[in-house]
Amino acid sequence: MSKMKVWAAVAAAGILAVTAVAKQPAEPALAKIEPTSRLITQAQYVNTLQSIFGAGLTYPSKFAPIARVDGLVAVGAGNATITEGAFRQFEAAARSVADQVVEPRNRTFLLPCKPSVDTQPDDACAGKFLNHVGSLLFRRPIKQRELSTYVLQAHSSAERLKSFYSGLSIVLAGMLQEPEFLYLTQPSVVVNGQPQLSPYAKASRLSVLLWDSYPDEELLAAAGNGKLNTKKGLEQQVDRMLANTDRVGEGVRSFFEDMLVFENFETLVKDGTIYPAFTPKVTEDAREQVLRTIVAHVVNEDADYRDLFTTRKTFLTNDLGAIYGVAVNRPDRWVPYEFPADSPRAGILSEIGFLAVYSHPGRSSPTRRGKAIREVLLCQKVPNPPPNVDFSALENPDPSLKTARERLSAHSSNPVCAGCHKITDPIGLALENFDGSGMYRTTESGTPINTTGGLDKASFTDFRGLATALRDNPRTVTCLTERLSSYALGRSLKPDDNNWVAYAQDKFAASGYRVKGLLRAIAMSDEFYAVPKSQPTKGESETAAK
């Protein structure tokens, strides 16, 4: 079928979909903002290539960081440009992956064919491989003209290097440097005078939301045959993708890594003289522990998001066990673990990955912990201290001040400080039973620790009380809805988005606060795929390569 016919079929399907939707209660509109291309993230790069070439290759681990904007790297990706330094990292990654694909031990199963002679070009075999891989990298069928160019390049490179495989590797690396691979573009098409996201762009948005990866062949096929533009066809794909626990797990990981500011782990180190058990391996495992807890809870068990703050279930390694005071006799292996009912620990806030990240290298910090709960988990902004505050005036060198609570009480007596400290410290002080490394303690400098505190209207006497208060705080689910919506759209939320976000939150509530329920609601939403009228359209009339 020609590309033109494909578009016509897609368009017709689109009209049917619109008619069907009209009978349902109207979904509020999102702000009409022209979508921008999103720079591929590290995770998307790895997830996508892994889905094409398998887990046996070594994938890059370092790309230029993308700036965090309005709480999310996913938003920054919508503005990010590629500097020469960033390009060099992409280029090196591309060559590394491409060279591995054609290595003798991999080529037999990663390439669909063999050249007639290894040392010479083979256009038919190169074309077969590049057409297949190219359509997955660019998330659309490869045009005949494009394919001819790539095959020609493979031909001349193979001649120059006297090797079919080296030539192919150079061209594959080139594809991985194409802006259409590195940027998730958002092309639209005009149907009945109305611009709408092209079906392939729709597939890409959906796949990046659910799997944090570019679409697989089946999803691209649904885009190509028009099914994705019908409510039923979309639903089939969404349900199929949500049922793939491993890949949704990757998607959910990426979202929470972003929401929970996981770049903090990159610089997490503790003073070894104060916390000797806190080794670099603990940092690595603490990060993974939080993700494992989250994925098991919200994906595998499909449990209520709010219970993430009170669940006693987690995973441990030998190294983590040293800090949790739990003997884990399985070296180099993750084991599921459930804290006992009377344990002082429950939920992700009692994990090292929160407690140690929001502490100093040599001591805990109720202020940092309280601020993180406000900003990261409740999406509230805590003002920075005024530039000219002299904190040292508050630092009483009097050694009679034994605990963090006593030291911080000095702040509350100063009105300039008290304004902010009263919104952070009563939360963080409830976590003082955990030191700067996350280890449990009942005293500080020999003095018993008082863990009473408060969060908005709730007051509590210990960490478990805080965990329950956070679980029940209405901002907790609102914050997740806002962040996931912004993450899905790849842009900051605007006031005009409020009604839609409220609608998404209703769907979230109706699902019993299942993250998969919220993902499904967004993925099935019409507005998620809507584009404003000003969106330029892509002229499509070329024949796709066979």
Partner 1 sequence: MTSQTSRRRILRGMMGGAAVTVGLPFLECFLNSNGTALANGSPLPTRFGTWFWGLGMNKQIWVPKKVGKDYDLPQQVASFKDVKQHINMFSNYNVLLDGRPNLCHYTGWIATRAGEAPAGPGQLPNQTIDVTIEDVIGTATRFRSISLSATGNPRTSYSYRSADAINPPDASVTEFYQKIFGSEFQDPNSPDFKPDPRVMARKSVLSGVIDHTNDLKKTLGKADQARLDNYLSSIRSFENSLAIQLQKPPPAEACKVPTANEKDLPSGLDSELVRTRHNMMVDLLVMAMACNQTRIFNMGFSEGSANTTHKGVARPHHPTTHEEPKDPELGYQPTAAKFVTESMEAWAYLVAAMANFKEGDGSLLDNSLVLANSDCELAQVHSLSNMPMMTAGRAGGRLKSGYHIDGAGGPVTAVSLTVLQAMGLQATEFGKGGLKTTQPVAELLV
- CA distance linking residue 214 with residue 220, whole number of Å: 10
- CA distance linking residue 201 with residue 220, whole number of Å: 10
In the bound state with partner 1, the residue whose beta carbon lies nearer, of 198 and 293, is 198
- CA distance linking residue 509 with residue 477, whole number of Å: 9
Sole window of 113-121, 154-162, 449-457, 500-508 interacting with partner 1 (rule: CB under 8 A) = 154-162
Residues paired with residue 459 on neighbouring β-strands, in sequence order: 454
Q: Shortest distance, CB of residue 427 to partner 1, whole angstroms?
A: 19
Residue 157 contacts partner 1 per CB under 8 A: yes
SS (H, E, C) 115-175: CCCCCCCCHHHHHHHHHHHHHHHHCCCCEHHHHHHHHHHHHHHHHHHCCHHHHHHHHHHHH
Residue 280 contacts partner 1 per CB under 8 A: yes
Residue 445 contacts partner 1 per CB under 8 A: no
From residue 188, give the alpha-carbon distance in Å to each of 237, 538, 539: 20, 7, 10
Per CB under 8 A, contacts with partner 1 among 88-107 are 88-89, 91, 95
Per CB under 8 A, contacts with partner 1 among 25-84 are 34, 36-37, 62, 64-65, 67, 69, 79-84
Count of residues that interact with partner 1, criterion CB under 8 A: 72
Per CB under 8 A, contacts with partner 1 among 390-419 are 390-392, 394-395, 397
Report yes or no: 136 and 214 within 8 Å, Cβ to Cβ: yes
Q: Shortest distance, CB of residue 23 to partner 1, whole angstroms?
A: 34
- CA distance linking residue 383 with residue 154, whole number of Å: 56
Residue 356 contacts partner 1 per CB under 8 A: no
Residue 460 contacts partner 1 per CB under 8 A: no
Per CB under 8 A, contacts with partner 1 among 166-205 are 166-167, 170-171, 173-174, 177-180, 182-183, 185, 187
Q: In this chain, which of 19, 58, 108, 384 binds partner 1, going by CB under 8 A?
A: 384
The amino acid at residue 361 is P
Q: Does an H or E element contain 195, and which?
A: strand 194-197
Per CB under 8 A, contacts with partner 1 among 226-265 are 263
In the bound state with partner 1, the residue whose beta carbon lies nearer, of 512 and 532, is 532
Q: In this chain, which of 42, 51, 131, 153 binds partner 1, going by CB under 8 A?
A: 153
Sole window of 120-128, 307-315, 387-395, 452-460 interacting with partner 1 (rule: CB under 8 A) = 387-395
- CA distance linking residue 469 with residue 454, whole number of Å: 9
Report yes or no: 312 and 338 within 8 Å, Cβ to Cβ: yes
Side-chain half-sphere CA neighbours of 246 within 13 A: 4
Q: Shortest distance, CB of residue 483 to partner 1, whole angstroms?
A: 17
Determine how many CB atoms are found less than 10 A away from the CB of residue 510.
12
Q: In this chain, which of 124, 269, 416, 418 binds partner 1, going by CB under 8 A?
A: 269
Q: Shortest distance, CB of residue 392 to partner 1, whole angstroms?
A: 5
Sole window of 85-93, 203-211, 213-221, 328-336 interacting with partner 1 (rule: CB under 8 A) = 85-93
Residue 340 contacts partner 1 per CB under 8 A: no
The amino acid at residue 461 is T
Report yes or no: 532 and 32 within 8 Å, Cβ to Cβ: yes
